[in-house]
Structure 1
């Protein structure tokens, strides 16, 4: 990873962010809270999370899915601000890949705080990730791999796992632009016939990557954990923050994305994340998906995202603004003392009453109520420094829309009372 671009240490900081989702807005908010700066957001459209915001400036490209257009616009933006310290961020797997693959061009203008392309290829593939973890003694679900190359005759892998099981793309970047009816981010497969259907749908859609089939680790959303980390340019792990998931999204495209979490400290889990990062030579931000296996109490690591993650604002809300870590390290070239976050806050993108309808565990529900009463609650879109009338309306409607989505895609309700 590059230290700084030529002349980058003079002039004001200028964050430039690829994308337009809630995670991008959270990054812009964290930059604004830490440095009072407006971020430049480069995307194909000014989507709701970043629309009508006073803390972002939009650079719209004709086709936000065309890497060449994105890179050309990034170069154009950089040339228009020769006196700024430019820091480039991206917060989806395929956009990280665009940045990493065009690093030679982009590092002429930007600080690019991401891992190497070689390591990205290894850890972004869920099958390879499972192999790395197994070698390091980190527990993962048992994993089988189905190839979808061009070789004929095509042959399905023998599956000796107990149903139901989980199926998902080994590399989300390979799956990004594949379209077929019934497409989901993650499939829960109940029978061999359902798996046969999925294999046929993927082949008919022209998918040429790999899918992984994994044992289903039991337990509801509250068994999930999130770990966010930053590894500096010298390989020092300077930031670790964990969160206990309370509720996940259940839409086909968003399945598995946390909708509500409580931050906390769990040293045994964090130590496993630390082992993975140190052993692989990781650099930059990383976000791990982990599940507690209720049968054994052990942590099962599912994947690592080569970025800070969609719900990154939980780290800022817990008192460790991650933008300070990357700026002081990669832009300013200064060491920052390592931090392990232990402050407890409730991070949520859903209304409180909706959340409490789904949290079945009485102890967890009590923690949620206590944090609500203490006003220790963070909503990434509701930034007091960026609430114009149109913005307020969007934030309110986003909560209403969450209610609609859960009624449609996850209607089961077990109230604990409010």
Structure 2
């Protein structure tokens, strides 16, 4: 049987989590192609790092992948990333890659239908999935958004109350945009703040839509994460999720879950599977949705055409994400019965120290559930892995914990009703 080489692009914590899952389940080692050894890979023994300063130049990336394939002529090649830009480039140039490369990602047309939040909302409407009221603002490019003045008028006519949420329709375009005060997700407390960002986007000629959305009531514990996989045969073989307990709060990472309590939300799981079937989707997808504190309805915000930064919560809850991909793409390497479609265990996933997490949990019932999950299974942190547990690695991860605590004390010292 051929050996398997897992190649990760970028080296974020989600890529590390997938590498960990592959190592835990199969003993596979990895290569990571990145401009530098990232925070999450430092002192790790799971992967060999290939330093490529121009990994975000398509021609250089493709040439580097060709070289890796040529250096491993007898290997199965599983390519993995957790960055929209890479997913799109790989979809655009799939025909130019060595056919041995296995990619658990959608094709270009499906990528565009999902990564554009405007197209995503339209697809959701067709299958009866609720999305927030949204105004798509355009800036004179090839987008379909309304002009800035018209957008402000629509917001006023809809009588939307502030705060409002601002986010890009296309994550790949947002990745390359540069302007003062840019955040992953903007939280506008007034029309003046909204106008300031729209002016910046107009000045730089932003090429796609910027979305202004209603704020669905409830703090960040009303947010949910959902991870799914739809295989080459058109079967949704994974759908799992959890309740967000705490999000990150630095400007560049605002809104990314930092702690999740896994749970089964069958209504949301069915909605996600219905959408994936409608799109004839292939590969991993990660959804963000929120349960309104006012109505209890589930409101879907987006689907990312990749596994998501926090995918380790799925592995921790009982379904190894690398096995899910391998059963589809590398079936000869997998034995035994298939794992359940939905992870069965309620576990606590957190990159935040437990005591710090409790500081932000105001609901006594939720605190009790979190404490029970910790007593039953402990706390699951993707970077704490015995199979990658050298002394330097353990000390370094502990230092990352301390740094994260300092960031919370600086940017979000006390919990708020809105999560901002």
Instruction: Name the TM-score class by shorter chain.
Output: over 0.9
Write the distance in 2 (CA, Å) between the matches of 1:338 and 1:147. Answer: 43
Q: 2:64 aligns to what SS in structure 1?
A: helix
Q: After alignment, is 218-227 or 362-371 more displaced?
A: 362-371
Shift of 1:337: 6.5
Partner of 2:204: 205
In structure 2, the CA distance between the partners of 1:193 and 1:17, relative to structure 1 (3 Å rule), is same
Q: Describe the superposition over 1:137-175 as per-residue Cα deviations: whole angstroms up to 9, x where unpaired.
A: 111101111012249x96432332332211111001011
In structure 2, the CA distance between the partners of 1:269 and 1:314, relative to structure 1 (3 Å rule), is same
Write the distance in 1 (CA, Å) between the matches of 2:248 and 2:147. Answer: 34
Q: 1:27 aligns to what SS in structure 2?
A: helix
In structure 2, the CA distance between the partners of 1:413 and 1:275, relative to structure 1 (3 Å rule), is closer
In structure 2, the CA distance between the partners of 1:413 and 1:128, relative to structure 1 (3 Å rule), is closer
Q: After alignment, is 343-352 or 127-136 more displaced?
A: 127-136
Shift of 1:274: 1.1
Q: Describe the superposition over 1:246-288 as per-residue Cα deviations: whole angstroms up to 9, x where unpaired.
A: 0000111111110001111111111111111111101100111
Q: Describe the superposition over 1:230-260 as per-residue Cα deviations: whole angstroms up to 9, x where unpaired.
A: 1110110011111111000011111111000
Q: Give the unaligned 5+ runs of structure 2.
A: none
**Counterpart selection for 1:69 from 60, 71, 86:** 60
Write the distance in 2 (CA, Å) between the matches of 1:238 and 1:303. Answer: 20
Write the distance in 2 (CA, Å) between the matches of 1:346 and 1:150. Answer: 44
Shift of 1:413: 4.7
Q: 2:102 aligns to what SS in structure 1?
A: coil
Write the distance in 1 (CA, Å) between the matches of 2:346 and 2:413. Answer: 29
Partner of 1:350: 352
Partner of 1:58: 49
Computed over aligned residues only, the root mean square deviation of the Cα atoms, in angstroms, reads: 1.8
Write the distance in 1 (CA, Å) between the matches of 2:387 and 2:313. Answer: 18
Contact 1:329 1:336 (8 Å CA) reproduced: no
Asked if 1:85 is matched to 2:87, the reply is: no
Write the distance in 1 (CA, Å) between the matches of 2:322 and 2:113. Answer: 26
**Counterpart selection for 1:387 from 356, 367, 389:** 389
Q: Describe the superposition over 1:192-231 as per-residue Cα deviations: whole angstroms up to 9, x where unpaired.
A: 2211111111122342221011101111110011111111
Q: 2:90 aligns to what SS in structure 1?
A: helix
Q: 1:159 aligns to what SS in structure 2?
A: helix
Partner of 2:305: 306
For 1:3-402, list aligned pairs within 5 A.
10-150=1-141, 155-156=148-149, 157=151, 158-160=153-155, 161-332=160-331, 336=338, 339-402=341-404
TM-score normalized by structure 1?
Answer: 0.93
Q: Describe the superposition over 1:112-152 as per-residue Cα deviations: whole angstroms up to 9, x where unpaired.
A: 2211100111110111111111221111101111012249x
Write the distance in 1 (CA, Å) between the matches of 2:219 and 2:98. Answer: 43
Contact 1:229 1:239 (8 Å CA) reproduced: yes
| Residues paired across the two proteins, number | 404
**Counterpart selection for 2:414 from 407, 412, 415:** 412
Q: 1:217 aligns to what SS in structure 2?
A: coil
Q: 2:154 aligns to what SS in structure 1?
A: coil
Q: Give the unaligned 5+ runs of structure 1.
A: 1-9
Contact 1:346 1:368 (8 Å CA) reproduced: yes
Q: 2:176 aligns to what SS in structure 1?
A: coil
Q: 1:262 aligns to what SS in structure 2?
A: strand
Shift of 1:338: 5.4
Contact 1:42 1:59 (8 Å CA) reproduced: yes
Partner of 1:7: none
Q: After alignment, is 266-275 or 156-165 more displaced?
A: 156-165
Q: 1:374 aligns to what SS in structure 2?
A: helix
In structure 2, the CA distance between the partners of 1:154 and 1:319, relative to structure 1 (3 Å rule), is closer
Write the distance in 2 (CA, Å) between the matches of 1:289 and 1:282. Answer: 17
TM-score normalized by structure 2?
Answer: 0.93
Write the distance in 2 (CA, Å) between the matches of 1:368 and 1:338. Answer: 23
Write the distance in 2 (CA, Å) between the matches of 1:15 and 1:320. Answer: 19
Write the distance in 2 (CA, Å) between the matches of 1:357 and 1:405. Answer: 14
Q: Describe the superposition over 1:326-364 as per-residue Cα deviations: whole angstroms up to 9, x where unpaired.
A: 112112278957511221110000000110000111111
Shift of 1:27: 0.9
